[in-house]
């Protein structure tokens, strides 16, 4: 049961001018597709072939003999999750139970934004910034390379890709500009709220 590359949840031009059509084409059709293909090749004929990708990521995490399976599987999962964390005319602020929880756990929405920006900006090299639910508490975290909070028992609610291929065609080395635009104009708070409701 091969893992399939999901289509983007919007058109290639839908996130312009924040993220260009060219970036989405390269990022989804080349980078994400390669992770999916490499993952399928790595698990073919193994005990993992018919397991869900989440099960496999958790099972092989930390096993140096299964690094290729983990890196490609986690990157395939991370990217699918990332696409859904964005929407055209996104950003703004969350509402309802999620907003209340952010205020309770961070002190204010602005404090959350500050922590999320810092996580993205200070992730050295390639990686991800995350909003997670960790034992009932919202936290901002960051992971290097393909790493994913699910292997630490956390529930991902939101992610931002800070690998250079996510923003370099549009922002070059200006990662903080990409981060600001992502937060203010792209975050799909409906998706984040659904994840929070499902995990609560």
Q: Provide the annotated binding site.
A: 27, 79, 161, 165
| Phi, psi torsion values for 104, nearest 5 degrees | -70, -40
- Residue 79 to residue 31: CA distance in whole angstroms: 9
Distance CA 139, CA 71 (A): 24
* Cα 82 from Cα 167, distance rounded (Å): 13
The token pair that represents 200 in the structure block: 């609560």
Residue 86 makes CB contacts below 8 A (sequence gap 6+) with: 10, 15, 19, 182, 186, 187, 188
Binding residues for Mn(2+): 27, 79, 161, 165
CA proximity to 158, closest of 127, 185, 124, 196: 196
121 with 176: CB under 8 angstroms? yes
In 3D space, the residue among 118, 112, 121, 114 whose CA is nearest the CA of residue 157 turns out to be 112
Residue 192 tokens, joined: 């984040």
């Amino acid at each position: 049961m091969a893992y399939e590359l999901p289509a983007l949840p919007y058109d290639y031009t839908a996130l312009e001018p924040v993220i260009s059509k060219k970036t989405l084409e390269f990022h989804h059709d080349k980078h994400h597709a390669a992770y999916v293909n490499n993952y399928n090749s790595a698990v073919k004929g193994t005990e993992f072939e018919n397991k869900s990708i989440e099960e496999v990521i958790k099972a092989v995490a930390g096993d140096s003999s299964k690094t290729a399976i983990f890196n490609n599987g986690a990157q395939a999962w991370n990217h699918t999750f990332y696409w859904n964390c964005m929407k055209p005319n996104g950003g703004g602020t969350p509402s309802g139970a999620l907003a209340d929880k952010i205020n309770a756990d961070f002190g204010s929405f602005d404090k959350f934004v500050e922590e999320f920006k810092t996580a993205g900006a200070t992730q050295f090299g390639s990686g991800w910034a995350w909003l997670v639910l960790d034992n009932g508490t919202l936290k901002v975290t960051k992971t290097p390379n393909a790493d994913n909070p699910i292997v630490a028992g956390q529930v991902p609610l939101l992610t931002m890709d800070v690998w250079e291929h996510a923003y370099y065609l549009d922002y070059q080395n200006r990662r903080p500009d990409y981060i600001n635009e992502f937060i203010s104009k792209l975050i799909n708070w409906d998706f984040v709220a659904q994840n929070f409701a499902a995990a609560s």
